[in-house]
Chains A and B, each alone.
Chain A
Amino acid sequence: MSAEAFRPIQETRPVAEISAVRRRPRTVDAVAVWVTQAMLGIWALLVIFPFVWMIMTSLKTDGEIIASPWELPSALQWDNFARAWTDARIGRFFVNTIIVLAGSLTGTLLVSAMAAYVLARFVFPGRQFIYFAFAAGLMFPVYLALVPLYFLVDDLDRFGLGLATYQSLILVYIAYSLPFTIFFLTAFFKTLPSELGEAAILDGASHYQIFFQVMLPLAKPGLIAMGIFNFLGQWNQFLLPLVLMPETLDPDKLMLSQGLYFLSIQGTYDSDYSALFAAMVITMIPTLIVYILFQRRLEAGLTAGALKG
């Protein structure tokens, strides 16, 4: 992988130009274009429609949702969002998620960047072993670790961790984000020219200064890609909080996706469907914003990781 990978992927103009050279009847091309548009359009509709329906439903009354699930709301029920935020405690879970992510994202990037830098640019015994130990983590299914992890975190309460605490979840999120982030950043640091570090050494800079003042700023594109990737991954994380933030221990510490899951299961009893849909919209908004803002970078980063994986 090279730093090139982070440049937005360009539309392929040249292929389009070639088709001008192509000696084919125009009608065939017209049909092909039409079929292409139809297929892409149908899939786009299939993707968009459920989300539009979800937003529409979040603005209806419970009665309307059941009686006329297809029709537009007769009046916009903004109150659903207020009920979701306070009564269904989505606001509380939102804040919890922000607190945990503030710690875990910073931690993931810092810890991974330091390790990746060392793995990419220094030769020492055990380097290959450590690198592969991290890379192997990409293949481990999380569910296998759930049971021991639950008891481990419970045991660690004498060190200030324990179940249903932010700090435990932060450390666990960091640990489970390391394989991909280190894997990705190691490849990234390898692409930075080695002369840079050497020049700084000659100027009398220490290894630490080189890392924080030369290398980290240069690695910014890679760090941003991993920041976005991990934001989405950790925001969407479901299994780890389900096990490590048990509702029975502290119902106020739930993460968003977990709270949403419980709300959807309970929903069948309380039948406050409109608040559930409002809660889904609230949960989706941050991912939507991050995705729209950073879509190109995320795509470039992910595909670079996948292609070289």
Chain B
Amino acid sequence: MHYHKYRLIVPFLMPAVLLYGIFVIWPYAQAIYISLTSWRGYSNNKPFVGLDNYRNLWEDERLREGLTRNGQLLIVLPLVTIAIALTFAALFTQGGQSVRGAGFYRIVFFFPQVIPVVIVGILWSYVYQPNAGLLNGVLRNIGLDGATRSWLTDPTMVLWAVAAVAVWSSVGFYMVIFLASMQSIPTSFYEAAILDGAGRWRSFKDITFPLIWESVRTALIYLAIAALDFFILVAVLAGGTTTMGARRAEVAALYLYNRAFEDNRWGIASAIGVLLLVLTLLLSVGIMRVTRRETYEF
């Protein structure tokens, strides 16, 4: 059957390989080269400076601040998102008599995930508005005037205000992943547990959780990658990449963008990008190693 197979293989693979090579691989390879130059603008002159950019990054206070924010997100974002998503998924599958309106909730919870991130950002920037915004309005109505603030410029709150939007928009996606995984667990497992007198919490902890571990792992990796990026949401919520709010929630990727497109420091910007790529890869591999467990076949 495979006699003339190369007459098919080559033309079938060619378009994908060409497009991918030209528009994906080549720019990334170039980014690595640019990170070794002190290229500052539109001239073709790209002076080679070796690892100088990387050495300077070590001293760069603003990058350090940015990475610290990514680090905070890295801890909080996966924890909160997975906790909420798991809770909802568990409520769907174990909430006694089948949850009323389950189909409706699924559609609603997943919805923010498919909405353009620009709309999510603009919408929430109005929710967070100090005077006419929804959030402060609710707080005033329930008598918590002291808790109102300018969420998107307040130095201690702005990053968390943005993170809350990320959780809001992605909980439904992870819930659906966990649900699909939970629904593939044979019900006989639960029947056996109930006969042994296990309650809801026991059967969740000892049956559900170990059996859906693979999807929790996947979620951890996705969320870790998101925590190291986080650039679009900050830019859109803060109303630009250089506003006061954006500066106070400036994650490393946003700093990269500003270095490149505001300051024309392409060399340094590319070095930040390479650093972030390496961090992302290391983190993904690290999470995969640390979370590796025996998988249960069923």
Tell me the A residues contacting B by CB distance below 8 Å: 9-16, 18-19, 21-22, 24, 29, 32-33, 36-37, 39-40, 43-44, 46-51, 53-54, 65-66, 69-70, 111-112, 114-115, 117-119, 122-124, 130, 133-134, 137, 139-141, 143-149, 152, 171-172, 174-176, 178-179, 182, 197-198, 201, 207-208, 211, 232, 235-236, 238-239, 256-258, 260-261, 264-265, 268, 276, 280, 283-284, 287, 290-292, 295, 298-300, 302-304, 306-307, 309
Q: Which residues of B contact A238 (CB under 8 A)?
A: 116-118, 232, 236
- Partner of B116 from A21, A47, A50, A235 at Cβ < 8 Å: A235
Interface range for B: 35 or more
A47 close to B8 (CB less than 8 A): no
Q: Which residues of B contact A11 (CB under 8 A)?
A: 98, 102-103
- Partner of B6 from A33, A36, A49, A124 at Cβ < 8 Å: A124
Q: Kindly state whether residue B253 has any CB partner on chain A within 8 Å.
A: yes
Q: Kindly state whether residue B269 has any CB partner on chain A within 8 Å.
A: yes
Instruction: State the CA gap A29–B115 with chains docked (Å).
Output: 36
**Besides the known contacts A257-B119, A260-B118, A265-B240, 17 further A-B residue pairs in the complex with CB atoms under 8 A apart:** A18-B191, A47-B112, A118-B8, A141-B253, A141-B273, A144-B28, A145-B31, A147-B269, A178-B16, A182-B16, A238-B117, A257-B118, A264-B236, A264-B239, A291-B111, A306-B215, A307-B181
B119 close to A303 (CB less than 8 A): no
Q: Identify 26 residue pairs between A and B in the complex whose beta-carbon atoms are under 8 Å apart, listed by A's number.
A: A18-B191, A24-B199, A33-B97, A43-B88, A48-B108, A50-B124, A66-B132, A122-B8, A137-B20, A149-B27, A152-B23, A176-B24, A178-B16, A201-B1, A208-B8, A257-B116, A260-B118, A261-B236, A264-B125, A268-B239, A283-B116, A284-B116, A287-B116, A291-B114, A298-B114, A307-B215
Instruction: State the CA gap A207–B17 with chains docked (Å).
Output: 20
Q: Mark B229-242, 1 if CB is under 8 A from A, else 0.
A: 10110001001100
Q: Which residues of B contact A182 (CB under 8 A)?
A: 16
Instruction: State the CA gap A117–B12 with chains docked (Å).
Output: 8
Closest to A112 in B: B16
How far does the Cβ of B148 sit from chain A's closest Cβ, in whole Å?
Answer: 15
A280 close to B277 (CB less than 8 A): no
Instruction: State the CA gap A268–B31 with chains docked (Å).
Output: 35
Also in contact, A114 and B183, with CB within 8 A (given A40-B88, A44-B109): no
Also in contact, A53 and B13, with CB within 8 A (given A43-B88, A261-B236, A306-B215): no
Instruction: State the CA gap A304–B109 with chains docked (Å).
Output: 18
Q: Kindly state whether residue B244 has any CB partner on chain A within 8 Å.
A: no
Also in contact, A118 and B94, with CB within 8 A (given A40-B105, A171-B23): no
- 5 closest A-B pairs by CB: A144-B273, A175-B23, A115-B16, A14-B187, A148-B30
- Partner of A147 from B8, B112, B270 at Cβ < 8 Å: B270
Identify which of B50-58, B72-80, B172-180 touches chain A.
B172-180
Q: Kindly state whether residue B22 has any CB partner on chain A within 8 Å.
A: yes
A306 close to B123 (CB less than 8 A): no
Instruction: State the CA gap A123–B239 with chains docked (Å).
Output: 51
How far does the Cβ of A206 sit from chain B's closest Cβ, in whole Å?
Answer: 9
Q: Kindly state whether residue B274 has any CB partner on chain A within 8 Å.
A: yes
B194 close to A21 (CB less than 8 A): yes
Q: Which residues of A contact B2 (CB under 8 A)?
A: 122-123
Q: Kindly state whether residue B276 has any CB partner on chain A within 8 Å.
A: yes
- Partner of B179 from A9, A239, A268, A290 at Cβ < 8 Å: A9
Instruction: State the CA gap A309–B79 with chains docked (Å).
Output: 20
Instruction: State the CA gap A309–B17 with chains docked (Å).
Output: 21
How far does the Cβ of B36 sit from chain A's closest Cβ, in whole Å?
Answer: 13
A309 close to B16 (CB less than 8 A): no
Interface class of chain B by DSSP: helix
Q: Which residues of A contact B13 (CB under 8 A)?
A: 114-115, 118-119, 130
Q: Kindly state whether residue B266 has any CB partner on chain A within 8 Å.
A: yes
Also in contact, A307 and B108, with CB within 8 A (given A117-B12, A139-B284, A144-B277): no
- Partner of A47 from B102, B108, B215 at Cβ < 8 Å: B108
How far does the Cβ of B143 sit from chain A's closest Cβ, in whole Å?
Answer: 17
Instruction: State the CA gap A208–B15 with chains docked (Å).
Output: 16
Q: Which residues of B contact A54 (CB under 8 A)?
A: 123
Q: Kindly state whether residue B107 has any CB partner on chain A within 8 Å.
A: yes
Also in contact, A284 and B115, with CB within 8 A (given A9-B180, A148-B26): yes
Q: Kindly state whether residue B65 has any CB partner on chain A within 8 Å.
A: no
- Partner of B229 from A50, A143, A171 at Cβ < 8 Å: A143
Instruction: State the CA gap A292–B281 with chains docked (Å).
Output: 35
Instruction: State the CA gap A51–B127 with chains docked (Å).
Output: 11
Q: Kindly state whether residue B289 has any CB partner on chain A within 8 Å.
A: no
Also in contact, A175 and B187, with CB within 8 A (given A36-B91, A238-B232): no
Q: Kindly state whether residue B67 has any CB partner on chain A within 8 Å.
A: no
A239 close to B28 (CB less than 8 A): no
Also in contact, A141 and B277, with CB within 8 A (given A32-B95, A238-B232): yes
Q: Which residues of A contact B31 (CB under 8 A)?
A: 144-145, 147-148
Q: Which residues of B contact A149 (CB under 8 A)?
A: 23, 27
- Partner of B257 from A32, A143, A284 at Cβ < 8 Å: A143
Q: Which residues of B contact A152 (CB under 8 A)?
A: 22-23, 26-27, 30
Q: Kindly state whether residue B287 has any CB partner on chain A within 8 Å.
A: no
Closest to B276 in A: A141
How far does the Cβ of A143 sit from chain B's closest Cβ, in whole Å?
Answer: 5
